[in-house]
Each structure stands twice: as structure tokens, then as C-alpha cells.
Amino acid sequence: MRKKRSVEEIIHTLKTDPGFSQNVTHWHTVEAKPARYAPIPSSVPTDLVRVLHGRGIEQLYTHQAEAIEQTSRGNSTVIVTPTASGKTLCYNLPVLSKMIEQPNARALYLYPTKALAQDQNSDLMEMVEALEGDLRCFTYDGDTAPAARTKVRDAGNIVITNPDMLHSGILPHHTKWIRLFENLEYIVVDELHTYRGVFGSHVANVFRRLKRICAYYGSHPKWIMTSATIANPVELAELLTEEDVVLVDNNGAPQGKKHLIFYNPPVVNEALGIRRSATLETKRIASKLVEADIQTIVFARSRVRSKCC
């Protein structure tokens, strides 16, 4: 039976364990920060405010309110805040606000993977259903049944897809997507930081095609992009979209106390300077956390290594 222990107890154990501490090259502690709030902007319709109140949201984090304000002014934005800081509301609220005001408006949501699109879709669907209106939100990817694709093209106020499907399934058939492209108000790009290197250059070309088709049908959508913390979000966003963007990084979400530990696996052969496998050492440390009933996540560079952990 697991013996449940607190994170503080685990931290104390690691600091006082010579077998662990002697391999730590640097230990940095980031203190907790309280949330910072702002009123819900006046640009959010009362029906949508009612939905937020029904979910227990009486006010927004500072970055959420700022993102909505910038979007309502007609600016393209890139929102850069930590994971689980509520970036989803930064684009769902302005998109839904626009559609309440203009029922024919359309939005295109782009996620790097189908799995992420499906995960985000559930939260959006709850808000759409709570509005009790005629808004329709659909996912369009390789798993979408052929019989459903026509409905998505004709009735989808919000179309959720990925760059691959946009490239191969939507843009080449733009004449079937006239309602989308004629009324496209927003393009949402989540996980912006994943579009780098060769993949990023391919996506940038897809975006160029997307913009040309939008211009052909008379629409000039604004971009709302979100990213994990990176050093050059504006540069990346403007290279990908060839648009001027406004940075929103005034994070108001609360943050718990964090310990950043730089750890070298122990030396197993001093003569050759060989250290213990990083994968095996990660497995050993993670096992201690799991045994203490501490929620734990381990990242690996490959699926093979992740199975070893």
C-alpha cells in the first residue's frame, strides 16, 4: 500500500539525501504567486457573461482580459503564458462574442494534432451548448465521416482542424468552403511554439495559401495565437503569418511554488567518466514520487524511452 506524502516532505527528503544532493548542480526555487484579476471586458455580450457566471467565473485573469481587449480593437495577438493558465478563454471568448453579434461569422481553429483538437473541442462545445443558440462547432479531420463533411462545410460556425488537413482537405477544395472563407473573422493557432524548423516553414506556406484564398473571397481574418513561454513569440508569429501582432504576456494566473533542479546522474566509472543512464535514473526518481502518491509526469525524447520509464 502506498504511503501518501506531501510534496514538501518529498522535497525535504531529497535535500537531506546525500545520494541525491551530491548529484545536484543547481537548485532554484520559484516562490508561489497569487492570481491577478481584471473585470470581464464590456465587449463580451451579456449572454456569454451569463455562461461564465454559470461556470463560476466572475472575473478574468489579467492576460485573458487584455487578450480580449486587444482582439476587440481589431489586433492580431499572440498570447504567451505558462501551461494551465487559461489561454483557451483568450480566444474562445472573442470568437463567441463575434458570433453572437454576427451569426454568419466563421472561425477556424488550428491545433498541431488531432488528439489536442478533440480535447479542446469538448470545453468549447460546453460553452456553445450553454449559449442555447444556433452556433455550430465541428471537428474536421481524417476521422470525420464523409456524410458529415458537407454539414461541417455548410453549417460550421467554428471549424476545428490541423495544418495537415487544412493543406490537403480544405484549401484544395476551397470552392466547397465558400461560406467559411467569405465570413472568416478569426484564425486561432494553438501551440504556436510547435511550428518551428522545417515543419514551421511548411506551415508558413500553408498560411500564405490560406490568406490568399481568404482575400479572394473578400475576408481578412485576424489571428489569435497562443504559445507556451518562448523567447521570441512575436518574431515567430509574424514570420508564420506575415501579419503584425500584439504580444499579451501579462500572466495573471496563480502559480504554485516550483523547484527547478539540475541533476547529473551519478558516475559509475570514474576512469572512463561514464555516468548512469539518465533514463534509468529518471525511472528511479519518478518511482519514489509515484510511491508517495505524488502526481508525476515524465517527458522523453522517444516512445521507446518513455516505455522504459
In percent, the amount of the chain with pLDDT more than 90 equals: 73
More confident call, 149 vs 37 = 37
Task: For residue 229, name the pLDDT band (cuts at 50, 70, 90).
Answer: confident
Task: For residue 308, name the pLDDT band (cuts at 50, 70, 90).
Answer: low
Which residues partner with 227 through β-bridges?
80
Tens of pLDDT, residue by residue over 42-67, are 999 999 999 999 999 999 999 999 99
What is the pLDDT, as a whole number, of residue 305?
Answer: 66
- Cα–Cα distance measured from residue 226 to residue 247, given in angstroms and rounded to the nearest whole number: 10
- Per the listing, cell 480580449 goes with 68
What is the pLDDT, as a whole number, of residue 2?
Answer: 58
Tens of pLDDT, residue by residue over 237-265, are 999 999 999 999 999 999 999 999 999 99
For residue 112, give the amino acid letter.
Answer: P
Q: For residue 1, is pLDDT > 60? A: no
What is the pLDDT, as a whole number, of residue 309?
Answer: 57
For range 182-190, the mean pLDDT: 97
- Cα–Cα distance measured from residue 247 to residue 217, given in angstroms and rounded to the nearest whole number: 29
- Cα–Cα distance measured from residue 258 to residue 232, given in angstroms and rounded to the nearest whole number: 24
What is the pLDDT, as a whole number, of residue 71?
Answer: 97
Q: For residue 307, is pLDDT > 70? A: no
What is the pLDDT, as a whole number, of residue 213?
Answer: 98
What is the pLDDT, as a whole number, of residue 225?
Answer: 98
What is the pLDDT, as a whole number, of residue 121?
Answer: 78
For range 120-138, the mean pLDDT: 87
> Are the C-beta atoms of residues 303 and 277 closer than 8 Å to each other?
no
Instruction: Collect all residues with Cβ–Cβ distance below 8 Å to 304 and sequence separation of at least 6.
Output: none
Tens of pLDDT, residue by residue over 90-112, are 999 999 999 999 999 999 999 98
Q: For residue 88, is pLDDT > 60? A: yes
Backbone phi, then psi, for 183, in 5-degree steps? -115, 15
Which residue, 74, 115, 82, 80, is CA-closest to 221?
A: 74
Q: For residue 300, is pLDDT > 70? A: yes
In percent, the amount of the chain with pLDDT more than 70 equals: 97
Instruction: Collect all residues with Cβ–Cβ distance below 8 Å to 130 and sequence separation of at least 6.
Output: 51, 54, 55
- The mean predicted confidence, pLDDT, of the chain is 92
Tens of pLDDT, residue by residue over 138-153, are 999 888 888 888 889 9
- Cα–Cα distance measured from residue 282 to residue 286, given in angstroms and rounded to the nearest whole number: 6
